[in-house]
A and B are shown apart, each in its own frame.
Chain A
Amino acid sequence: MKVKKEQKPMDKGKKLQSIEELESLQQQAFDRYDPLRKRVRICMTGCLAHGADKVRDALVEELENQGMSKDIDLVETGCFGFCAKAPVVAIDPEDIHYQRVKPEDAGEIVSETLGKGNIIDRLVYFDKKANKRLPYTQDIPFYKRQVKHVLRNCGRIDPKRIDHYLLNDGYKALAKVITSLSPEEVIEMIKKSGLRGRGGGGFRTGLKWEICRRAAGSPKYLICNADEGDPGAFMDRGLLEGDPHSVLEGMLIGAYALGARFGYVYVRAEYPIAIDHLKIALNELKSLGLLGDNILGKDFSFHLKLKEGAGAFVCGEETALMASIEGKRGMPRPRPPFPAHKGLWGKPTNINNVETFGNVPLIILNGSEEYTRLGTEKSKGTKIFALAGRVNNTGLVEIPMGTSLRDIIFDIGGGIPKGRTFKAVQLGGPSGGCIPGDHLDVPIDYDSLINLGAIMGSGGMVVMDSANCMIDVARFFLEFIQIESCGKCIPCRIGTKRMLEILVRITEGEGKEEDISLLKELAEGIKITALCGLGQTAPNPVLSTIRYFLDEYKEHIFEKRCPASVCVPLIKFEVNRELCKKCGICKKVCPVGAVSWEKKMPAVIDKNICIKCKTCIENCPAQAIQ
């Protein structure tokens, strides 16, 4: 076994005065790195929800006990992506992929796999289709179809250590920009790459930068919008937790291109780990002089602050976000004037989302042409999606633009669990829409999704199956919008309230004949009159469900029936004897013992005891309870 180097501390603390010093730092990191050394990687972000911390502790303990702690590194990484199998542990150099690891497994992992190099079958992914075990990451279908560009470091490096990032070409793009490119050339590269805003709007990033660069007034501000508010989206969280430096490098390059002296990362407070990792990264950058005045001894200064949100979805909207940074209520203001001209404290300001910045170093490093090789004609590069809902392989996936929804949901996502059938996929959160089965083969890009009545959004992708009620989903989004509406403009404040009231009455069996046309009327009115983007798009979830699931609305309104058995007032809580498989699961799961059942007999629900919690419905394999 080689002498371990990695533990050696790098000569941090001293500010880098030149590109050369940065390069030598990168060299140091590289020298210290030993590709053949054994490592255990464990996700300490998303997997925490499944007790990854306990697994980590167990592994550390075992390494101690079995006297291997000196020869083997334990690397706490960000998200691997495959959250469905959390907690996930990987072993290098072979890149063995263990899933659903429990603390009890630690001993064996250390002794068998790390010690003897044997693979532990029960922790390995099992591919039902191929009917075989797949121990190595690269073979697992979930990863196979993905192209990890922006997420390249997530789950591989320790996001709390800048040397890990440096090791993977970290800050090479920055060096290249500062040494060999003018701001205009940088903007030109971004424009050529065709990069479009990953926050949802899909506005051309290069153009946005150019407008702000040309705007009169100083100082200029650069803001990273990490207020990932869309429910069902966690791409930005994943990236910030797993590889914060890639985003910060993107910001530094942006600041250079725009001539921005000051910047903010606006993170929602619901992301404690992201905030923690960002704080660490920012401190490292400051102590290395990669943030502050005269970066790398050049005439380039950038001061970056972290701002924590305080719980307001609307602050994802640019002007509201700026108001929030200024310490005001996050109420959007009309545009024009646009932030590029009158932004934060009235100064020219450019705002991009996390993933957008994450793309920037790649474009600089590999060139625009290389970047444009992936993607469709109008949408270049890759896109990260947060795959969630009623799908087997939930998690973070990065795919080239143009991949079809079907590939994502069925190949990468592994299809729908519990043997149910796919019903719709919701994209773009509260501003997006639901796409039904017959459009699954459309190649995804900004424009194709808009045609389908949805939007790319930030990348939330929530899959729904036959047990989901689309009116209930529409109602859910309107409830969300109502809770989150800032209340400034009339259409959003009152209009969405009225839409919600109508949806509530439909889901409660009080629906009226004219309700569908009223909903459309309100939706159209709000679309054209609301103040901010959030208000203008708030009706989309309703419009798209009316567009694709009109029958379901009619069933609710005219037949007072919820086919998915979701809308409680419309459920009889009776067992359909034809459909009932007589399995008795309902009896097992009922928290109040309202279900009586004997072997080979259909179950019966006692309505006097039943509390309508729907646990039986959730668990019934035959959807027999209606």
Chain B
Amino acid sequence: MDGKKIVLSINGKEITCGLNKTILDVVRENGIQIPTLCDCKNLAPFGACRLCLVEIEGIPKLITACSTIAVKGMKIRTESERIDKSRRFIVELLLSDHPFDCMFCEQAGTCPLQDLAYEYGMKNIRFPGEKRATITDDTNPFIERDNSKCILCGRCVRVCDEIQGVGAIGFIDRGFQTRIGTPFDRNLDCEFCGQCVASCPVGALTAKPSKQKGRIWQTRSVKTICPYCGCGCNLTLHVRDNKIISVTSDPDTLNEGYLCSKGRFGCDYVHHPDRLQYPLIKKDGQFIRSSWEQALTLVAMKFKEIKEQHGNDSLAGLSSAKCTNEENYLFQKFIRAVLGTNNVDHCARL
């Protein structure tokens, strides 16, 4: 981007901003909140939810901030009676076709629709009517779809196509019956990266492994790095009662919040019953539980023994590409300084 700047006004306040930005970007840059449902980082504007409607002096109609480029001298209003009225109208319509089951919904607490309903205090819907039926998804172990909660913002479809380049799901049918699904309603057959789950604002797409494990406010979140491949994706682990119940990723990272099936769904091994619980010493072919003391003394003794009998270079160590820098440093320090040999390597090449 060239450093050019333009001047325009938002709610009467003059501001300057860069070129080729959408009104929504500019407004948010200036700390003003506009509700949105179909807007999603890195995806092309869609303009379907109609919540980001704003007034622009000289244009009689309300226009969507997400899809309109801000231009020099624009006079933008983000709040007015008309705007407020239409936003409430949209939310009321959405709720008229939405199950009122927030108490069971996985998304409760992180659902922008729930927040809007709360802010607008929409207890009773003036025009109730037909609701779309629940069509629950196939038997894949990762992703659950409930179309009755779907608001058709298209974020899942767009992220699957625009970012993941897979296009496993799409819009089906049209009008009130429009829904998201797979061709001929086959079983979902994709990379199971879960980008769709992460981008779904409501409870229409949820992660099966996290089902009923805990509410967002019941969890503690810890930022760390994915233990799998070398991409170094940033993970946010959501922990409840010392268990990882779900994994997300912050959009403001090198992986832009995107993960693969391993990063998003692959952390449960940490809680696997096979985890080693205590040191083991092999006695005539059988592993016997031992204390740290016993185990370490034994190892130290054996290493010293071999060192003395066969020399330093008869000992060797294999370090780990899955351990931390600190641990790898310490390991080679141990091999070199304590065992006195350079016989240290790891499986970088494998």
Contact = CB atoms under 8 A, between A and B. Distances in A.
B48 A490 contact: yes
A359 interface: no
Interface string A487-513: 111110111011001100000000000
Contacts of A485: 174-176
A482 interface: yes
B176 A529 contact: no
Nearest to B90: A490
A522 interface: yes
Contacts of B175: 482-487, 493
A529 B129 contact: no
B176 A525 contact: no
Contact of B94 (A329, A484, A490, A531): A490
A488 B151 CA distance: 10
A329 B152 CA distance: 14
Contacts of A529: 50, 53, 62, 86, 89-90
A612 interface: no
B126 A518 contact: yes
Given A497-B129, A531-B47, A491 B90 contact: yes
Nearest to B86: A529
B129 A501 contact: yes
Contacts of B69: 336-337
B130 interface: yes
A138 to B, nearest CB: 47
A497 B178 CA distance: 13
A495 B64 contact: no
Interface in B169-204: 171, 173-178
- Of the candidates A484, A487, A530, the one having the most CB atoms from chain B within 10 angstroms of its own CB is A487
A486 B172 CA distance: 11
B82 interface: yes
A334 B69 CA distance: 12
Contacts of A334: 45, 47, 63-64, 67-68
Contacts of A531: 47-48, 50
A491 B64 CA distance: 14
B278 interface: no
Nearest to A532: B47
Nearest to B67: A334
Contacts of B96: 494, 498
Interface string B73-117: 000000000100110011001101100000000000000000000
B47 to A, nearest CB: 4
A324 to B, nearest CB: 12
A525 B96 CA distance: 15
Nearest to A526: B89
* Size range of the chain B interface in the assembly: 35 or more
Interface in A50-95: none
Contacts of A482: 175-176
Contacts of B173: 487
A528 interface: yes
A490 B116 CA distance: 15
A406 interface: no
A331 B151 CA distance: 16
Given A487-B176, A528-B86, A529-B62, A498 B127 contact: yes
A217 to B, nearest CB: 15
Contacts of B174: 312, 329, 485-487
B233 interface: no
A333 interface: yes
A498 B129 contact: yes
Nearest to A332: B47
Contacts of A484: 175
Nearest to A334: B47
Nearest to B45: A334
A255 to B, nearest CB: 29
Nearest to A484: B175
B54 interface: no
A331 B171 CA distance: 11
A490 B88 CA distance: 12
A491 B176 contact: no
A489 B175 CA distance: 9
Interface in A415-446: none
- Of the candidates A331, A501, A528, the one having the most CB atoms from chain B within 10 angstroms of its own CB is A528
Interface string B39-77: 000000101111001000000011110011100000000
Contact of A493 (B62, B63, B68, B176): B176
A525 B89 contact: yes
A336 B68 contact: yes
Nearest to A499: B127
A100 B261 CA distance: 72
Contact of B67 (A329, A333, A483, A497): A333
Contacts of B177: 487
Nearest to A536: B61
Nearest to B97: A494
Given A334-B47, A485-B176, A493 B152 contact: yes
Given A518-B126, A525-B89, A529-B86, A489 B50 contact: yes
A329 B90 CA distance: 24
Contacts of B97: 494, 497
A319 B174 CA distance: 17
Contacts of A518: 126-127
A190 B251 CA distance: 52
B152 A488 contact: yes
Contacts of B67: 333-334, 336
Contacts of A497: 97, 129-130, 176
A123 B173 CA distance: 50
B176 A333 contact: no
B176 A502 contact: no
Contact of B93 (A486, A487, A498, A501): A498
A497 B175 CA distance: 9
B171 A329 contact: yes
Contacts of A525: 85-86, 89, 93
B154 to A, nearest CB: 8
Interface in B129-146: 129-130
Contacts of A487: 152, 171, 173-178
Contacts of A312: 174
A348 B47 CA distance: 21
A494 B86 CA distance: 14
Interface string A325-362: 00001010110110000000000000000000000000
Contacts of B151: 490
B92 to A, nearest CB: 9
A529 B90 CA distance: 8
Contacts of A521: 126
19 contacts: A312-B174, A329-B174, A333-B47, A334-B47, A334-B64, A334-B67, A334-B68, A487-B173, A488-B48, A489-B48, A489-B50, A490-B90, A491-B90, A493-B178, A497-B130, A498-B93, A522-B127, A529-B90, A531-B48
Given A485-B175, A488-B48, A528-B82, 18 more contacts: A334-B45, A334-B47, A336-B63, A336-B67, A486-B175, A487-B174, A487-B176, A490-B93, A490-B94, A490-B151, A491-B90, A494-B93, A494-B97, A494-B176, A497-B97, A497-B176, A498-B129, A529-B86
Interface of B: 45, 47-50, 53, 61-64, 67-69, 82, 85-86, 89-90, 93-94, 96-97, 126-127, 129-130, 151-152, 171, 173-178
Interface of A: 312, 329, 331, 333-334, 336-337, 482-491, 493-495, 497-498, 501-502, 518, 521-522, 525, 528-531, 536
